[in-house]
Structure 1
Amino acid sequence: MTDPDALLTVTPRQDSSGPHVLAVAGELDHHSAPVLTGAVAEAQSDDRGLILDLAGMTYCDSTGITVLITAYQRSQATGAPFVLAGANADLQRLFQVVGLDQVFTFHPDVETALASLRQG
């Protein structure tokens, strides 16, 4: 789900046996949030779970945080896993400042997240 006019791209990675993986690249703000919102809603249409690969994400504002919190809340309501992977130091700091480091599950990369979910 990519909008060429957006500053954000979301690339799904198909894995029929595991959770959905969405690679997020660019700036997540009030202009680009609908791109991620749509992709997350589609991925969360079943209970396979969702990994957001944030390795390519360079910026996140309060609207972006709201998208992530909404995805987390939906996962909690359905019991499906929701994890973030690959967040850079700046994003990690942002999540820490707003207290989301205590809410979200983080992994250094998608492979580690997948391995963790398989064990869980």
Structure 2
Amino acid sequence: MTMLDIITRTTPAGPVLTLRGTLDYESAPRLREEVRAADLTPGSLLVLDLADLDFCDSSGINTFLTARNTATAAGASIALAAVPPPVARVIGIVGLDQIFAIHPDSDSAADSHLTHS
């Protein structure tokens, strides 16, 4: 397993956190910290770009829910982007595909948000 690297960038829609590596019990707290530190404002969109995520366990899935709660508390929205097939399968099994907007990439997530805002 590899460590988790998180790259943050800002778009007109809001912050994008790109995750690279492994999201598990050991690395999930780091993602929670990054989400709390993100500049979330009412009406903004937090995008979690998962294109380079190698592995995600139940702690990671729980962290996605925590990120959603953090975004909602700030009056922001959240979307998942570029979800790898193994992660998409788990997200579908637990029903998170019903509560998260899922986009093919972070740019389309931001564009969709700006179009519908």
Distance 2:39 2:72 in 1: 11
Where do 4+ consecutive residues of structure 1 move more than 6 Å?
Answer: none
Contact (CA 8 Å) 2:15, 2:45: kept in 1 or not? yes
| Counterpart amino acid of residue 97 in structure 1 | I
Distance 1:75 1:41 in 2: 9
| TM-score (norm: length of structure 2) | 0.89
Distance 2:7 2:73 in 1: 25
Structure 2 residue 103 is the aligned partner of structure 1 residue 107: yes
Structure with the greater relative contact order (CA < 8 A, sep ≥ 6): 1 or 2? 2
Matched residue of 2:86: which SS?
Answer: helix
Instruction: Output aligned runs, 1:80-91, within 5 Å.
Output: 80-91=76-87
| Counterpart amino acid of residue 64 in structure 1 | G
Q: Which residue is equivalent to 2:14?
A: 19
Which blocks of at least 5 consecutive residues in structure 1 are unaligned? 1-5
Q: CA RMSD in A?
A: 1.5
Which blocks of at least 5 consecutive residues in structure 2 are unaligned? none
C-alpha displacement of 1:40:
0.8
C-alpha displacement of 1:96:
0.5
Matched residue of 1:69: which SS?
Answer: helix
Distance 2:29 2:66 in 1: 12
Question: Would you say how many aligned residue pairs link Structure 1 and Structure 2?
Answer: 114
Counterpart selection for 1:34 from 29, 32, 50: 29
| TM-score (norm: length of structure 1) | 0.87
The sequence identity of aligned pairs, in percent, is 37
